[in-house]
Amino acid sequence: MKVSIIGGGGLVGSCAGFALQCGGVVREIALLDLNANLAAGQALDIMHGGPSVADQRISSGGYEHIPTSDIICITAGLRRKPDESRLDLINRNTDLFVGILDEVKKAGPKSSAIVLVVSNPVDILTFVAAKKLGLPATQVLGLGTQLDTIRFCSLIAEQLGTAPTQTHGLILGEHGDSMIPVWSSATVGSLSLDKYPGWNSMLAEKIFARTKQSGAECLSKKGGAGFAVGIAIRDVIHAIALDQQRILPVSTVQDGACYGIRDVAISVPTVVGRAGAVQRIEIELWPKELQGLKSSAAAIKPTLDAVLKRIGN
């Protein structure tokens, strides 16, 4: 399987390439970037590690890679400024993103290609991609709250001293200010989180607050997140490549079948496999969680409508 990463010269794209190399699942990784020299350097650096990791082909270039790609991952975008919300980014990122989609469409992707949108604001841009590319909506996914979810679980594990791989929880909704934590299904091992020794509501509030600010925290401390985003991207790509049928909180265009939400791209529990978003699962939520999810969808809609008007759709 071949994965092309648009924006592969940047922090997020190169971290995704490295995470995919370490995973050893996909056969070919192509890094595409407007800065061709930077992409070539990143590809060279990753390739050098190949003998100790996996038998893969690592390359760089431009849109000539698109027709032979099974997964097209779009990470390119303008960096978020300190104290700038992801939705504020839309005014600076839309034109860039639409230009990328035009080039992808012109290059001629496979009819079976899966597009994974990572660029922010990811929910808005996932909807735009689904509308512009002409692919089935199930083949256009956004990274959504997968990154927020693994951040959330890592912070719970850190606070409780539990094994991160046995700490499970979900963040749903917008990848941004209106995201919601799903405490109702959070567990450590098979034990409900609210029954775990030392757990309390004050700790829950602290963890969720830090989860929401994790992107800004990384931005202020190191100039932007990279490693965990790469891992989150790998989670989704491996689920596709291996046809894992894994339930992940990715962003897809909603049609009303899940929680009654429609005409917006947002993260709900989604079965991800080789065909993309295979199925959306309406898990049971506490009433306040369900209301929060619907409010999150409503919060995105005005910005989405403004964007669609701006790009002439």
Residue numbers annotated as active site: 175
C-alpha span between 61 and 48 (Å, rounded): 17
Residue 138's φ and ψ, nearest 5 degrees, are -70, -15
Which residues lie closer than 8 Å to 236 by C-beta, 6 or more apart?
A: 116, 141, 143, 146, 248, 250, 272
Residue 208's φ and ψ, nearest 5 degrees, are -65, -40
C-alpha span between 168 and 157 (Å, rounded): 9
C-alpha span between 235 and 172 (Å, rounded): 16
Query: DSSP string of 50-97?
Result: GGGT---EEEEESGGGGGG-SEEEE---PPPPTT--TGGGHHHHHHHH
Based on its alpha-carbon atoms, the radius of gyration of the chain, rounded to whole angstroms, reads: 19
Q: What is the dihedral of CA 229, 221, 85, 105, to 10 degrees?
A: -40
In this structure, is the dihedral angle defined by the CA atoms of residues 240, 241, 246 and 249, taken in order, positive or negative? negative
Q: Are strands 57-61 and 251-255 parallel, antiparallel or unpaired?
A: unpaired
* Residue type (1 letter), 132: K
- C-beta separation of 33 from 2 below 8 A: no
- C-beta separation of 296 from 180 below 8 A: yes
Pick from 182, 233, 191: nearest CA to 7: 233
* Residue type (1 letter), 8: G
DSSP state for residue 81 in the 8-state scheme? P
